[in-house]
Structure 1
């Protein structure tokens, strides 16, 4: 009988890793969240500033993670970095939050986004099509389609990393080209009068529809508005670090993980900035901020392509979300695998199947994501976890400073760009973002924080069980 493999296969090339970075970042957010950003800041200039700040933070974090990935080029990524820099409790709290909400709820949200835009082409998959009413729970055909897609992608990734990487590379290239095409057509058909009007008072920070000038916000409230606006842009730019979770399956990981982080994030952030410039050239600020169901890209495509614009964007988002979910599903299970190896998750999750992938972890992740699909609460949660996500990014980047002193002996083929200035700037900006959310948007902070803190007693219960088993 053939023995199950005990190590991951190094199958991912640099292009595969780069496509995983870009593909995991681009889901449905860039097509939607600019509406909420515009409502918060009320001007074209500040719309771009929000995306530029997010881009700077994302790129700085990615370049900083490059050093950590070159030090610890193995499965688990951020979970491993936190454990090495701090202690097992901190890394467990990250893994706990990642499993309970961050990754699984994101997979659910991206899956339902796929279904929502499928409904543009096949109305029977609309959210209003209720297929089961259990009284306490209504299940729509959109939710069922989301679950089916998640199950299919989980199965595909359980068959081995080569199958998953082929889907990832194909769909990411398709959506990069599609988004680039939308930008080119949009800039070609941009309307000069709309552009002039949108950029006339480009630097007035105000609620959309409010009085002119920053006077409509107090100075601190203005910072709060920027922080609230960044919730959407940070969500749209998140998951770039998924490539670090599969470091054990990347060829020459000490070089290629850091390089893929840089290439992927730069590529995506440039496209995001250009997309928003395009929006301001074809839609008025009012139309951006009050697009139907916040679907700014649909409104823009209708201006650019006419009646067929809706179908074009629906197809683009279907491709985008399908590829995004493949990357999220592929990478997520590697974190649970590392947790299981530390005795902090189900033991079976720490084993590989005959295809050298953590199949049990994939299916557990699938189950929780499906439950989030059925709950209908994934969208609310995702708005609320930006605080936790940035908090763990800050801790991880702070780990670079700690490990420089704690482990100066470890080889660092790649060192954090701009150290110590840029990592420190990120920590300061991240701290300001979190504090402003606590003050001005507490509903964006307490649910994610509570979920994270619940992990503390869970950690000690697991530790107690482990000690009992060993005695």
Structure 2
């Protein structure tokens, strides 16, 4: 049922937006993933920053200044390549978050176990616990987002604290453990040289994906105060926090424990627990687990909030049934799109778990999320190149050097994105059933894209009939 207002209210300023970028840009699970590969992962972080994150941020700033309306990359790619490509970019990004929710909430569940101390540790290999936690968390953040950003932004802001707070605690504790007992990892020059094999290269694609998130707020431009000015101001503030958390956090985990002992589902809390035991400060483990749990809930809520705006924007364009363009009569939120996002996320939680253990489900969900997200990211870089000759209503924000700088930056980001797309299709080396993993990754990705084409065709027919 549509409300009186065609769009949700503008409520986000620079501080809110910077915190939103932090909560969607930092994912503590990637610190554990990186630390498991040793000191060379720090070099990979720097490479991902240079070859993906910076070009991506520059692309977002330029495109959001050209087209600041609600819809983000859906609007940008539609303007560059037409309605079908724009729809498929939005659809692919929307569906990339379906496996994202259960994967990030599985990580959250793995850390929440430590809230119960040693009495809950037996749940670490329980698929029932992980799935139940993910489904309940999805229901909670869906409800929060229906109420709207007036209240939901506070969960996002608390979630941002829950992201950099644990990283800061582990950094301090890792430094203290190193000062008192020495480093658990040997930081020799050879250890920083990246190993070029399939296992490590798969991790590289995940680390590049970890630095996405700059695109999120542009989906909600209609709810940002003066987005042309606010987005370029908030991104550098958030970027400094995001990059610091990843690089210094990885270093701190390796100070506390050897790379070979890091668990990708519980690595950060695991490192904090090891350092706490060395320092005789085990009391800090429970608050650390609480912060990590809160941070990941905030991140999942932030992504649900922004991606639900895609079917909302597509509904306004009449490529989806009109109900998707409806806003809640009381809270002014696109509640149908939010309910759809939460419900489909729950379905993927169940599908990802089928026929595998906890870690196998997590790896499949991560790979699907990377592929479905990097497809529209590639189109964003291509849109920057394509739109260079297009006139803009207002001055476009970009680096000195203008068109040449924008194209070169976009080409670097595009090359990195395409490489990450290929690598994400490989199953994890320790996956016992590699064929099933590949079938799940590629098969479910193909289903997502094929269903998008079907929805577009049906939407076009409905729009013609309506006209």
Taking the TM superposition and a 5 Å limit, the aligned residue runs for 1:361-400 are: 361-377=337-353, 379=362, 380-400=364-384
Shift of 1:439: 8.6
Q: Distance in 1 between matches of 2:335 and 2:426?
A: 42
Residue 254 of structure 1 pairs with residue 228 of structure 2: yes
CA 350–198 in structure 1, closer or farther in 2 if over 3 Å, else same: same
Q: Distance in 2 between matches of 1:398 and 1:464?
A: 25
CA displacement 1:276-295 (0-9 Å, x = unmatched): 122232222xxx23324653
Residue 332 of structure 1 pairs with residue 307 of structure 2: yes
CA 390–460 in structure 1, closer or farther in 2 if over 3 Å, else same: closer
Q: Distance in 2 between matches of 1:70 and 1:274?
A: 32
Match of 2:431 in 1: none
Q: Among 257, 261, 264, which residue is 1:290 paired with?
A: 261
Alpha-carbon contact 1:67-1:412 (below 8 Å) kept: no
Taking the TM superposition and a 5 Å limit, the aligned residue runs for 1:271-310 are: 271-284=245-258, 288-292=259-263, 294-306=265-277, 307-308=282-283, 310=285
CA 247–225 in structure 1, closer or farther in 2 if over 3 Å, else same: same
Match of 2:110 in 1: 116
Match of 1:105 in 2: 99
Q: Among 161, 164, 187, which residue is 1:176 paired with?
A: 164
Alpha-carbon contact 1:116-1:125 (below 8 Å) kept: no
Q: Distance in 1 between matches of 2:224 and 2:421?
A: 33
* TM-score between the two structures when normalised by the length of structure 1: 0.83
Q: Distance in 2 between matches of 1:150 and 1:64?
A: 31
CA displacement 1:104-147 (0-9 Å, x = unmatched): 221222233333332333467975798xxxxxxxx724322322
Alpha-carbon contact 1:98-1:104 (below 8 Å) kept: no
Q: Distance in 2 between matches of 1:464 and 1:251?
A: 33
Of 52-61 and 447-456, deviating more is 447-456
SS at match of 1:144: helix
Alpha-carbon contact 1:8-1:248 (below 8 Å) kept: yes
Match of 2:135 in 1: 147
* TM-score between the two structures when normalised by the length of structure 2: 0.83
Shift of 1:411: 1.7
Shift of 1:431: 2.9
Residue 93 of structure 1 pairs with residue 108 of structure 2: no
Q: Distance in 1 between matches of 2:289 and 2:5?
A: 41
CA displacement 1:85-114 (0-9 Å, x = unmatched): 1111112212222333x1122122223333
Residue 469 of structure 1 pairs with residue 445 of structure 2: no
Alpha-carbon contact 1:81-1:396 (below 8 Å) kept: yes
Alpha-carbon contact 2:156-2:298 (below 8 Å) kept: yes
CA 329–293 in structure 1, closer or farther in 2 if over 3 Å, else same: closer
Match of 2:16 in 1: 16
Alpha-carbon contact 1:329-1:362 (below 8 Å) kept: yes
CA 438–117 in structure 1, closer or farther in 2 if over 3 Å, else same: closer
Q: Distance in 2 between matches of 1:62 and 1:264?
A: 11
Match of 2:432 in 1: none
Q: Among 238, 244, 267, which residue is 1:264 paired with?
A: 238
CA 129–34 in structure 1, closer or farther in 2 if over 3 Å, else same: closer
Q: List runs of 5+ in structure 2 lacking aligned partners.
A: 354-360, 429-436
SS at match of 2:10: coil
Q: Distance in 2 between matches of 1:460 and 1:296?
A: 41
Q: Distance in 2 between matches of 1:437 and 1:105?
A: 14
Aligned length in residues: 436
Residue 419 of structure 1 pairs with residue 406 of structure 2: yes
Q: Distance in 1 between matches of 2:147 and 2:426?
A: 47
Of 114-123 and 436-445, deviating more is 436-445
SS at match of 2:178: coil
Alpha-carbon contact 1:171-1:322 (below 8 Å) kept: yes
CA 438–182 in structure 1, closer or farther in 2 if over 3 Å, else same: closer
Shift of 1:55: 2.0
Alpha-carbon contact 2:316-2:322 (below 8 Å) kept: yes
Q: Distance in 1 between matches of 2:384 and 2:32?
A: 34
CA 357–188 in structure 1, closer or farther in 2 if over 3 Å, else same: same
Shift of 1:79: 0.9
Match of 1:446 in 2: 442
CA 261–309 in structure 1, closer or farther in 2 if over 3 Å, else same: same
Shift of 1:224: 4.8
Alpha-carbon contact 2:91-2:452 (below 8 Å) kept: no
Match of 1:408 in 2: 391
Q: List runs of 5+ in structure 1 lacking aligned partners.
A: 131-138, 207-221
Alpha-carbon contact 1:19-1:172 (below 8 Å) kept: yes
SS at match of 2:308: helix
Q: Distance in 2 between matches of 1:110 and 1:303?
A: 23
Q: Distance in 2 between matches of 1:461 and 1:403?
A: 26
SS at match of 1:331: helix
Match of 2:58 in 1: 63
RMSD: 3.0
SS at match of 1:414: coil
Q: Distance in 2 between matches of 1:414 and 1:236?
A: 25
